């Protein structure tokens, strides 16, 4: 998290709010702040104070984490230590009765129902661990589902060693469980769909947000940003190689505002003045 501390004698107090963001951003943010303060203090006529630089840098990092949240961490399979990636292989089967007889003869295969088999390994005398799920589809194909690509590769070798003459591999698809989680979260009704229960009147909320956004984005062009490699938006606007990145950053802010407006019911903040001040056009 980020916060500005003010020294009062022998103690320190918070100067403003506390802004949460990812831990890995802290070191980069601290370096950016120090670099910006050094650059500004070397000027004959500094335009920003150290306190102002710290405040805007912290708030900008916090806003970036909201508008562009980091991807969830890669999930790992506890047994194999591989990335968790649901892997589905499909096979064409030339003789299902023969394949069923082969599967029935395996000590490490259990038939779950008429069209589903589980390939498992023994953990101890009483417990087993599922390695793959085999299912006969209505199309006549067989789908083999595993939790990782490594296990899917092992299942393919195992099947080919058992019944290679009866099978032909037709394709593979994978599904990242993080994507499924994101889709589920995105499909949930947003705050706007729920009854407004805040004790702060909606009109006052709009006024507070508008004032905060105005204050923030008025000074925003003069603040070094990590997304621009420590350059200010005004500096980036003058550099041909940085202008496309700055345009994307402004579009990203607008998209974030549109989402916030949709979720909260409070109109999006118009940053049109930033485009004009930076001399940029929407491409």
Supply the CATH number for residue 115's domain: 3.30.70
pLDDT greater than 50 at residue 197: no
pLDDT greater than 60 at residue 223: yes
**Mean confidence (pLDDT) of the chain:** 81
Q: Verify that 65 and 203 share a domain, yes or no.
A: yes
* Predicted local confidence at residue 202, as pLDDT: 62
Q: Verify that 208 and 156 share a domain, yes or no.
A: no
pLDDT greater than 80 at residue 38: yes
* Predicted local confidence at residue 14, as pLDDT: 62
Q: Between 26 and 81, whose confidence is greater?
A: 81
**Is residue 158 assigned to a domain?**
yes
Which residues is 174 bridged to in the sheet? Answer: 87
Q: Verify that 139 and 203 share a domain, yes or no.
A: no
pLDDT greater than 90 at residue 172: yes
Q: Verify that 94 and 155 share a domain, yes or no.
A: yes
pLDDT greater than 80 at residue 209: no
Q: Verify that 225 and 171 share a domain, yes or no.
A: no
Instruction: Look up the pTM and report it.
Output: 0.46
Write the CA distances from 147 to 91, 109, 173, 176, integer angstroms: 18, 17, 12, 10
Phi, psi of 117 (to 5 degrees): -130, 150
**Is residue 191 assigned to a domain?**
no
Are 214 and 274 spatial neighbours (Cβ–Cβ below 8 Å)? Answer: no
**Is residue 213 assigned to a domain?**
yes
Q: Which domain holds residue 54?
A: 5-70+198-278
Using CB atoms within 10 Å of the CB of residue 250, give its burial: 0 to 12 exposed, 13 to 18 middle, 19+ buried: middle
* Predicted local confidence at residue 182, as pLDDT: 63
> HSE of 86 in the Cβ direction (CA atoms, 13 Å)?
9
Minimum mean pLDDT among 14-23, 151-160, 187-196, 210-219: which range?
187-196
* Predicted local confidence at residue 191, as pLDDT: 46
pLDDT greater than 90 at residue 152: yes
| Cα–chain center distance at 169 | 33
* Predicted local confidence at residue 116, as pLDDT: 94
N- to C-terminal Cα separation, the chain: 35
Q: Verify that 91 and 63 share a domain, yes or no.
A: no
Q: Between 202 and 143, whose confidence is greater?
A: 143
Q: Between 34 and 207, whose confidence is greater?
A: 34
**Is residue 186 assigned to a domain?**
no
**Is residue 216 assigned to a domain?**
yes
Q: Between 182 and 150, whose confidence is greater?
A: 150
Q: What is the pLDDT of residues 85-104, one digit of tens each?
A: 899 999 999 999 999 999 99
**Is residue 76 assigned to a domain?**
no
Residue 198: pLDDT band (50, 70, 90) is very low
Q: Verify that 167 and 29 share a domain, yes or no.
A: no
Using CB atoms within 10 Å of the CB of residue 25, give its burial: 0 to 12 exposed, 13 to 18 middle, 19+ buried: middle
Average pLDDT over residues 215-241: 85
What is the number of domains present in the chain? Answer: 2
**Is residue 160 assigned to a domain?**
yes
Q: Verify that 208 and 161 share a domain, yes or no.
A: no
* Predicted local confidence at residue 129, as pLDDT: 85
Average pLDDT over residues 141-161: 95
* Predicted local confidence at residue 278, as pLDDT: 92
Spatial CB neighbours of 283, under 8 Å, sequence gap ≥ 6 = 244, 247
Residue 84: pLDDT band (50, 70, 90) is confident
Q: Verify that 64 and 96 share a domain, yes or no.
A: no
Rounded CA-CA distance 217/233 in Å is 11
Residue 49: pLDDT band (50, 70, 90) is confident
**Is residue 181 assigned to a domain?**
no
Highest average pLDDT, of 22-31, 118-127, 132-141, 216-225, comes from 132-141
* Predicted local confidence at residue 74, as pLDDT: 72
Q: Verify that 63 and 115 share a domain, yes or no.
A: no
Torsion, Cα 70 14 257 274, to 10 degrees, reads -110
Q: Verify that 255 and 208 share a domain, yes or no.
A: yes
């Amino acid at each position: 998290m980020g916060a500005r501390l003010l020294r009062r004698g022998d103690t320190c107090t918070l100067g403003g709010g506390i802004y949460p963001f990812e831990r890995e951003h802290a070191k980069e943010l601290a370096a950016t702040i120090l670099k910006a303060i050094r650059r500004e203090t070397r000027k004959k006529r500094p335009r920003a104070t150290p306190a102002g630089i710290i405040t805007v840098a912290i708030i900008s990092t916090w806003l970036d984490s909201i508008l562009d949240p980091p991807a969830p961490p890669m999930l790992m399979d506890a047994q194999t230590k591989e990335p968790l990636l649901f892997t589905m292989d499909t096979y064409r089967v030339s003789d299902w009765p023969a394949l069923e007889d082969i599967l029935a003869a395996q000590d490490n295969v259990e038939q779950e129902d008429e069209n589903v088999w589980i390939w498992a390994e023994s953990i101890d005398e009483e417990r087993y661990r599922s390695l793959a799920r085999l299912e006969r589809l209505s199309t006549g194909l067989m789908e083999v589902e595993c939790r990782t690509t490594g296990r899917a590769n092992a299942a393919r070798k195992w099947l080919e060693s058992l019944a290679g003459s009866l099978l032909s591999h037709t394709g593979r698809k994978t599904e990242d469980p993080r994507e499924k989680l994101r889709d589920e979260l995105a499909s949930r009704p947003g705050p706007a769909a729920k009854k407004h229960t805040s004790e702060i009147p909606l009109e006052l909320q709009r006024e507070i947000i508008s004032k905060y956004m105005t204050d923030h984005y008025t000074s925003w062009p003069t603040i070094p940003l990590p997304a621009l490699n420590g350059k200010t938006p005004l500096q980036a606007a003058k550099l041909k190689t940085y202008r496309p990145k700055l345009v994307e950053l402004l579009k990203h802010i607008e998209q974030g505002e549109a989402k916030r407006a949709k979720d909260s019911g409070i109109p999006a903040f118009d940053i049109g003045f930033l485009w004009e001040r930076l001399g940029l056009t929407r491409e």
